[in-house]
Amino acid sequence: MNGKDRVENAQLPATVCLAALTAATAISLCRIFADWEYLRPMLVVGIGMHIVAAALRLLRVPLWAAGPALVLAGVEFLGIVFYRDTLNGPLPSSRTFELLRIDISLVLNQFPTTVAPVPSVGNYAIAATAAIAVCAILSDTFAFRAMGRLEAVVPTAVLFVFTAALGTDRHREAVAALWIGTALVLIAALRVRHVGSGSSWMGSRRWGVIAAMPAILVTVGLTTVAAAAFAPRLPGAGEKALIDTRNRGGSVTEVLSPLVDIRAQLVNQSDLEYFTVESSDGGHYWRQSGLPIFDGTRWDLPEETLETMGNRASEVPLPGPVTTQNIRISSLGGSLVPAAYLPTSVSEDGLFWAGDSGSLVLAETTLQQGDQIEIRSMVPRPSAELLRASGISNPPSDIYLDLPSSFPDVARDAAATVTRDATTAFDQMLALQNWFRTEFQYNIDVQLGNSNDAIEAFLRTKQGFCQQFAGTFAAMARALGVPARVAVGFTDGTLAADGRYHVYGRNAHAWPEVWFDDAGWVAFEPTPGRGSADTTAYTGVAFAQDTTSAGGGDGDGPPGDGATATSTPLVTNGIEDGTEDTGTGNPSATTIAAGGSATRGGSDNSTSAIPFVLLTLIALAGVWMAFAPRVVRARAARHAHSPSERVISAWHRSLGSLSLAGAPHPAGATPLEYATVAERSTGIDHHVLREMATHVTRAVYSRGAITEQAAVRCETLSREIANICRDRTPVSLRLKALFDPRLMRLRYSG
């Protein structure tokens, strides 16, 4: 078997090792997913991509054709696994591409505020599987077409580092040991595959990979065992992460949009007590805010003037029973104060009223542990007959009817179909509510937003949690011409022996509110498994709430662990300069603005950009290591056309390799003299160096005497010298040569 045959024989083991690294990377993603349901489709796509890539190499398909073929194969695999009903025969249709685009865009939009673990089904699993497919394409290209070793590891390393930075603590040591061990095996296999010839202490040339495998496995085993044993004991190993992706760090208060953050409360802080309520007439939905603005991307708050709270009982459209609540803050942060709707008076002077959102707002401070606030509310309880007879033509503002022009037609059509038999606005809302409650399933493992794409995905899968139910209901109500908004707050909580309702993260909730001229804002409940006793009379939905922990993955602390919960998108501007005093000591024109991004402790939101920066830098480094050497080699060989020029170019490349290995070219030395010096410095067979020196001497002084066969021989000898010198070059210098253009030029062009 000649050298070329041995190289090709080693390709199958290297391909298997590359596929194993992709599988190990998929397994490592368990740290960002809620369970293992994501893994099977991910392995099908990842391994399938390696099989297709190997087949294209076996058929000797050039890279310019193999690249597009692999991309189409990736879409085909994703279509078969996730969008089978959209395929046009065996091929993806335009609908397949559209749904893939929707799912990827949802992940990109939600990622800055997403908290692990994320659902194992739905758009995050699809996006991660697409990322695995891309990694498989890039890794195969780097390994077998760019002839890289470390470069082949870079694409999957990006995903692995990404997981390590943002994932939970689940199986951290195990997946790290698995991934590192598999990566080392791959590098060793690629080393044998690319060298292809020459004896090795690990085995014969004929069975290079097989003979080397015992030594490789022993080395990998010792390395991973040592890493697992000593890494947890390294200084700082038990310290707080540089990027806290789970918001469990002491007294930090994070300000987020309630809808963005609601799943994090339901999952990661499900057992964290936010506040307690002593109520004069039982439990209620403890409402924090209403979100009236929908721009096709998210539900948000308007800029509005904060008004002095005072006593607002006379402003209630439909008076109801009065309830008194004593709110005691445990760990709830932010500026929004929860209360039974509709609050009419408060005990604190620093609380103000935001009318458009119906919110109680702390204008100059935030909620702190131990705060106690007494609130009086008048809870409207309209009858179905009153709402059926009421009009909807006089909402407080037209913003409650606004929909973007891009609002999906599928949602408009669904709203019209569901309500086609309803004769009044109230009956339309009741039909819409009951449709959601009977035809859809509550599933917290579906992480979607409220954008147009998210609404379309929600209507397609018919699974979601309160965020999707409330946002989609309100948007579809507007599509029917009914004023609506989304309310955010908490369900009743747990009534304890102390007579107080204890409200936890798992009680976080969102629901829609609809405007009726004779009753004001009226709550509906489209989310299955949820219901308020205050609305039973007209919705027919009995009281219900989740009373169990959502479990959110490993590492969550016990209730009351001191973390401050996320709660509010509001950033109050305080008292404006030049504002006149109305005589009450309170501002008359304090404004409140919607803030969509996270701020930590009053700082900016640059922390959320850190993973993107790291990801970009790693990707750029991988691209540089993969393609910069090829550019340098191409430029060096641009003018080497004749046999003599090719011999000289091969000699220059050998000089660069020898210089990096510790044998620089002495000034004034002839090629034959240098061959003698390099032989003593590197231990390279003198026959190889002297043969090269003889050919280059002839090429310089007798250009016509060089044959094509001699040029090919010199290029082969140059590669052999480069492989030998690579082993004799210090590791630090080899790593530096991957990035330093000067060393790269020295290595590839002399």
| Predicted confidence band of residue 433 (pLDDT cuts 50, 70, 90) | very high
Q: Say yes or no to pLDDT of 657 above 90.
A: no
Do 346 and 579 touch, CB atoms closer than 8 A? Answer: no
- Helix and strand counts by DSSP (H, E) for the chain: 23, 23
What digits encode the pLDDT tens for the residues 488-544? 999 999 999 999 999 998 899 999 999 999 999 999 999 999 999 999 999 999 999
CA distances (Å), 289 to each of 19, 65, 360, 608, 646, in order? Answer: 50, 55, 8, 25, 75
Rounded-to-integer distance, Cα 247 and Cα 607, Å: 12
Rounded-to-integer distance, Cα 530 and Cα 541, Å: 8
Can you read off the two tokens belonging to residue 323?
């309830």
Rounded-to-integer distance, Cα 211 and Cα 200, Å: 9
| Predicted confidence band of residue 746 (pLDDT cuts 50, 70, 90) | low
**For residues 432 and 356, which has the higher predicted lDDT (pLDDT)?**
432
Do 650 and 692 touch, CB atoms closer than 8 A? Answer: yes
Q: Say yes or no to pLDDT of 661 above 90.
A: no
Q: Say yes or no to pLDDT of 659 above 70.
A: yes
C-alpha closest to that of 150 among 197, 191, 208: 191
Rounded-to-integer distance, Cα 244 and Cα 93, Å: 41
Which helix H or strand E contains 722, and what residues bound it? helix 708-728
What digits encode the pLDDT tens for the residues 96-146? 888 888 778 777 776 766 667 777 877 788 889 999 999 999 888 888 887
What pLDDT, on a 0 to 100 scale, did the predictor assign at position 707? 79
Which helix H or strand E contains 470, and what residues bound it? helix 466-479
Which amino acid is located at 544 in the chain?
A
- Sign of the torsion formed by the C-alpha atoms of 171, 176, 178 and 179: positive
Which amino acid is located at 609 in the chain?
A
Do 681 and 663 touch, CB atoms closer than 8 A? Answer: yes
Rounded-to-integer distance, Cα 80 and Cα 19, Å: 20
CA angle (614 as vertex; 610, 615 as ends), nearest 5: 115
Q: What number is the average pLDDT over the span 472-476? A: 95
CA angle (180 as vertex; 607, 557 as ends), nearest 5: 50
**pLDDT over 70 for what percent of the chain?**
71
| Predicted confidence band of residue 391 (pLDDT cuts 50, 70, 90) | very high
| Predicted confidence band of residue 241 (pLDDT cuts 50, 70, 90) | very low
Rounded-to-integer distance, Cα 694 and Cα 714, Å: 10
Which helix H or strand E contains 143, and what residues bound it? helix 123-144
C-alpha closest to that of 301 among 520, 676, 572: 572
**For residues 544 and 609, which has the higher predicted lDDT (pLDDT)?**
544
Q: Indicate the pairing of strand 372-378 with strand 322-329.
A: antiparallel
**For residues 392 and 84, which has the higher predicted lDDT (pLDDT)?**
392
Rounded-to-integer distance, Cα 743 and Cα 656, Å: 8
Mean pLDDT of the chain: 76
512 upstream amide cis, omega within 30 of 0:
no
Do 717 and 647 touch, CB atoms closer than 8 A? Answer: no
Q: Is the overall model pTM greater than 0.85, yes or no?
A: no
DSSP 521: E
C-alpha closest to that of 79 among 69, 67, 66, 89: 89
Which position has the token pair 């404006």? Answer: 576
- Sheet containing 372-378: give its strands across: 343-346, 372-378, 322-329, 273-279, 501-504, 494-495
Q: Say yes or no to pLDDT of 202 above 80.
A: no
Do 283 and 492 touch, CB atoms closer than 8 A? Answer: yes
Number of CB atoms found within 10 A of residue 548's CB: 8
Can you read off the two tokens belonging to residue 395?
């909402």
**Helix 150-166 with 610-636: angle, nearest 10 deg:** 170
Which position has the token pair 């948007």? Answer: 475
Q: What number is the average pLDDT over the span 420-449? A: 88
CA distances (Å), 464 to each of 39, 129, 256, in order? Answer: 21, 21, 21
Rounded-to-integer distance, Cα 269 and Cα 334, Å: 16
Q: Say yes or no to pLDDT of 561 above 60.
A: no
Do 182 and 20 touch, CB atoms closer than 8 A? Answer: yes
Buried b (16+ CB within 10 A) or exposed e, 168-206: bebbbeebbbbbbbbbbbbbbbbbbbbbbeeeeebbebe
DSSP string, 503-558: EEGGGEEEEEEEEETTTEEEE---STT-B-TTTHHHH-PPPB---S----STTPPP
Do 157 and 618 touch, CB atoms closer than 8 A? Answer: yes
Question: Which residues of 463-544 form beta strands (DSSP E)?
Answer: 463-464, 484-490, 494-495, 501-504, 508-516, 520-523
Q: What number is the average pLDDT over the span 165-177? A: 82
Residue 570 forms beta bridges with which residues? Answer: 594
Secondary structure in 3-state letters for 406-429: CCCHHHHHHHHHHCCCCCCHHHHH
Residue count of the chain, please give it.
750
